[in-house]
Structure 1
């Protein structure tokens, strides 16, 4: 059955969980640093004596400027964050270097979001915050107090959440559609689950869909959930095009960092000073999630690693990793939250408790639909995309043209060659904005243009049916688990490629090299 790249996914975990009802208290989390915007052409701001360049510029990212003042402000904030997490801060220069690397990557992402015309409004941030509060069963006022208690301002939290929502939409558009899970992979995964005696997908503690159309009573919540695994990492990044000699030097760097950790140096402090990972200034903490949600490479590396211990060096397409197992919980030990709480769309829905795998029939209403997708970009604004779809809708409803033919000509989705046909869709298989508009249509009707994280859509409902999906349900859940395993490495690879393609003039790094040569 054909599928659209419109799955319901969730944000990266460390930003959203913060101090909110953490089920695994040993795992720290923190927000990205709030920064002062800087643009090319703005007056340079003076930096402290000894670290001052003539023009006050720390780095240039494509045509954008990061000032020394911006780095110094962010460095002071990072030092406060590390102190609040009881992580030893690196020396001044190393911390400044780490902060600048984070600002550079942030700027690269913001530039790509602008190129893709992906924006997150204040209203969408508010809706995401409401969803997080609902899932943690607290009020907004309590949530604000908890955020403040963690040492982060409410404005910084909102700013970090906005960036996470934006980054998640970028991932949906650029990465998700490239991940294909075959039927053979699903078969192999389910057989492996049965071989391990886990009773299939029931051992994963996944939630059955609970749409309004579902006729069967929902399964009763149980206290045994999926096995949970919390990890931290130290990453030595390997840029694209690295030579053999450079690769050897980077491996030696990773071996040196591993030796320090094995000798007793604090893992979080080493990560904060030396890791190239995006979570470096959180002590390398990547968060906690269901064990099957981690990449296969990570699972294999820590299979026999006890909590508090570290793995050896693992090589991926992104570089060399050193993993630390922060916590490991078996099913039933504690019903832990799954790290991130907000779906990657404007109106997050409350997360359901883990339920047993369905027993007997699972009757749901399936919808057979097609759509036309117009993606936004620097050359296609939201207004232009909506207007184009309004014109296409007029041609269909008043002019008698065929929607399938227009989808083949105009749709930016991978289903365009099939006339935009999405096949039979189960409840929960598409993002909420899309599903809500689709559910409001009768067979034969065509929606008004509606917006999702992927762009703008026209939707046509072809027909509906009641279907027992008990057998299909396990395959759907298995496919989602396999997807999650691949999504993180694919996203890291994509971000690495973005950085490698950017023009970056890191003047602090250059100055350090000059100082080293002169010493």
Structure 2
């Protein structure tokens, strides 16, 4: 009864608007027709047309064959109904997206497209998409993902027995094709260079290879030495399968292990140096374990960022003067769990700690003490006590299987949940307007 009243109210409001606009024909605008009522909200013809146009453009760019117009409208409308139901549920659950999260997501998408945010915005607008529409789309996606994580993710469990059974009964355990995370340095040689210039470039490349194999940081070396466009990104070429690696490098890379640095590879543009930073999908999965300790100063009403940094810098000076790190951690660290152990976090692997902490930790030499580092937990001073390469193959394979099982379960549960949400909702579609 309540739902029918809502429909009547929406329709009466539309009629009143028509009458009002009808009184002034010079300024009259055609009011959007209601295509569907979804709980207490509506979907208008203009909204549907706009979404259909976006989908059509996307399909055409992908060289996909467009279905008949009425089929596309029906499919798009159903998608809009599902999205609206999920947004309504998210709103009731109090799920929101902060401007900071929205802008961070937009910047991340721009980076993945190798652009600054302003460049990406200009590119979007050149393709006929407003930046605000792009942000609205991201906001919608984040909200729905958070809702699904809340409604579904927490319920999905994968037991050790499921993982063991999968590994016992499947010939393959779901590894993807081998992927290489590559670093690249180019020592450029001009076209038509004299043999002496070529020799100098080769000698320089050989010296760099020697330094890298001796432990020199690859990213910093690329930034300072490489003539390639990716130099300011530390020479990072990202993750690539063999089919995505330039032909010039593929034979060399396919024989390299994680951490290997190639000999200089000659090409018309100069001498290339390749490092395999990481490997995925191989029988041997090596990780770097780091023994680390820290001192944490949390911020609060009495301790702001500046004060936290000041305290840690004072402690760093005391350590440089000979005071014991562990004793200072026990006396001053706000991380009470590690403070009892002299600030020790013991041996940690990739992903065990938050990214700003890991990034700072990775740059430290053995026994080196960092400057203050900020994370969501406060301000840290970090000291690395040791590093070791560890064969993590068995655990890596189990995690691949666990992730594959979890993904399958989430997909199955999401399909059921969405269908249940749609079936239990009040939706009125005006078929004669489709």
TM-score (norm 1): 0.39
Structure with the greater alpha carbon radius of gyration: 2
**TM-score for the superposition, normalised by structure 2:** 0.45
Instruction: Report the structure, 1 or 2, having the larger helix content.
Output: 2
Higher relative contact order (CA 8 A, sep 6+): 1
